[in-house]
Amino acid sequence: MSTPPSSTRRSTVQALAAGAAGLAVPSLARSQSAPVRVGYAIARTGPWAGGAQVSQEPNFLMWAEQQNAAGGLDVKGTRRRIELVSFDDRSEIETCIRSYEKLMGSDKVDLILPPWGSNANFALAPLANRFGYPMLAPTALSRKLIDMHLPYFFSLLQQPDRMMGALVDMLVANGVKTIAILYMDDLFGLENFAALNAALKKTDIRVVERKGYPLGVKDLAPVLRTIKDQNPDAFIGITYPPDTILASKQSKEIGFNPKLFYASVGTAFQLYRNVLGAGAEGVSGMGSWNAATSPGAKAYFQAHTAKFGGKEPDRWASGHCWAGLEILTQAVAKVGLDRKAIRDYVAKNEHKTIIGPVRFEGSENVATPGSVGQWQNGEFEVVWPRSIATAQLVMPKPAWK
Partner 1 sequence: MSFGAWLELIASGLITGGVYALVALGLNLQYGLMRILNIAHGEFLMLGAFAAWLAYTYLGVSPLLTAPIVFVLMVVLGLLIHRLAFRRLAATSPDLDVFEARGLMVAFGLMFLVQNFASLVWGGELRGYDYLTDPVSVGGAQFAANKLLLAAVALAVSVALIVVLRRSLLGKGVRALMQSPVGAQLVGIDTARLHPLMFGIGLGLSGLAGSLLSMTYAISPAIGEPYTVTALIVITLGGFGSMTGSLVAALALGVIEALGTHFGSPSLKPLLSYGLFIAVLLWKPNGLFKR
Partner 2 sequence: MSGRRILGRDLSVLAVLAVIALALPAWVNEFGVSMALTCLMYVALSSSWSLFCGATRYLSLATSAFFGIGAYAGALTLGELPWLAAIALGAGAAAALAVVMGSAVLHLRGTYFAVLTFGMTELIRHAVTFAEKQIAGTVGRVLVFVPEPGTVYLTVLALAVLAVVTSIAVRRSRLGLALAGIGGDELRAQTLGVDTRRAKVIGFAISAAFAGAVGAAMSVRWTYIDPATVFNPFIGFQTVLIALIGGAATLWGPLVAAIVFSVLAEALRLQLPQLYMMALGLLLILSVLYLPGGLASLRPGILIGWRDALLARRPARRAGAGKVRDA
Q: Which residues contact 202 (CB under 8 A, 6 or more apart)?
A: none
Taking contact as CB under 8 A, which single stretch among the options 95-103, 163-171, 195-203, 215-223 is the one that binds partner 1?
215-223
Exposed/middle/buried for residue 14 (C-beta within 10 Å: 0-12, 13-18, 19+) = exposed
Taking alpha carbons only, the member of 151, 162, 158 closest to residue 346 is: 151
Q: Is 87 in the site for partner 2 (CB under 8 A)?
A: yes
CA 343, 294, 276: angle at the middle one, nearest 5? 100
First to last CA, the chain: 57
In the DSSP assignment, the letter for residue 132 is T
Interaction partner, residue 296 (partner 1, partner 2, none; CB < 5-8 Å by kind): none
From residue 338, alpha-carbon distances to 76, 276, 295, 333 in Å are 11, 47, 31, 11
Interaction partner, residue 125 (partner 2, partner 1, none; CB < 5-8 Å by kind): partner 2
**How many residues bind partner 2, per CB under 8 A?**
37
Taking alpha carbons only, the member of 324, 331, 314 closest to residue 365 is: 324
Interaction partner, residue 225 (partner 1, partner 2, none; CB < 5-8 Å by kind): partner 1
Interaction partner, residue 221 (partner 1, partner 2, none; CB < 5-8 Å by kind): partner 1
Q: Is 105 in the site for partner 2 (CB under 8 A)?
A: yes
What phi-psi label fits residue 91: left (phi over 0), alpha (psi between -120 and 50 degrees) or beta? Answer: left
Taking contact as CB under 8 A, which single stretch among the options 39-47, 138-146, 298-306, 374-382 is the one that binds partner 1?
39-47
| Residue 214 beta carbon to partner 1: minimum distance, rounded to whole angstroms | 5
Site string for partner 2, 192-221 (x = CB under 8 A): --x-----------------x-xx------
Q: Which helix (H) or strand (E) holds 136?
A: strand 135-137
Q: Is 334 in the site for partner 2 (CB under 8 A)?
A: no
| Residue 276 beta carbon to partner 1: minimum distance, rounded to whole angstroms | 9
Q: Which helix (H) or strand (E) holds 376?
A: strand 372-376
Amino acid at site 23: L
Give the Cβ contact number of residue 252 at 10 Å: 15
Backbone angles phi, psi at 181, to 5 degrees: -120, 130
**How many residues bind partner 1, per CB under 8 A?**
36
| Residue 210 beta carbon to partner 1: minimum distance, rounded to whole angstroms | 8
Say if residues 400 and 252 touch (Cβ distance below 8 Å). Answer: yes
Taking contact as CB under 8 A, which single stretch among the options 212-220, 324-332, 360-368, 380-388 is the one that binds partner 1?
212-220
Pick from 34, 85, 97, 337 the residue near partner 2 by CB under 8 A.
97
Interaction partner, residue 148 (partner 2, partner 1, none; CB < 5-8 Å by kind): partner 2
Footprint of partner 2 on this chain (CB under 8 A)?
A: 1-4, 6-7, 45, 87-88, 90, 93-95, 97-99, 101-102, 105-106, 118-119, 122-123, 125-126, 144, 148, 185-187, 190-191, 194, 212, 214-215
Footprint of partner 1 on this chain (CB under 8 A)?
A: 45-47, 49-50, 53, 91, 185, 211-214, 216-223, 225-226, 229, 241-242, 245-246, 249-250, 252-255, 271, 275, 277
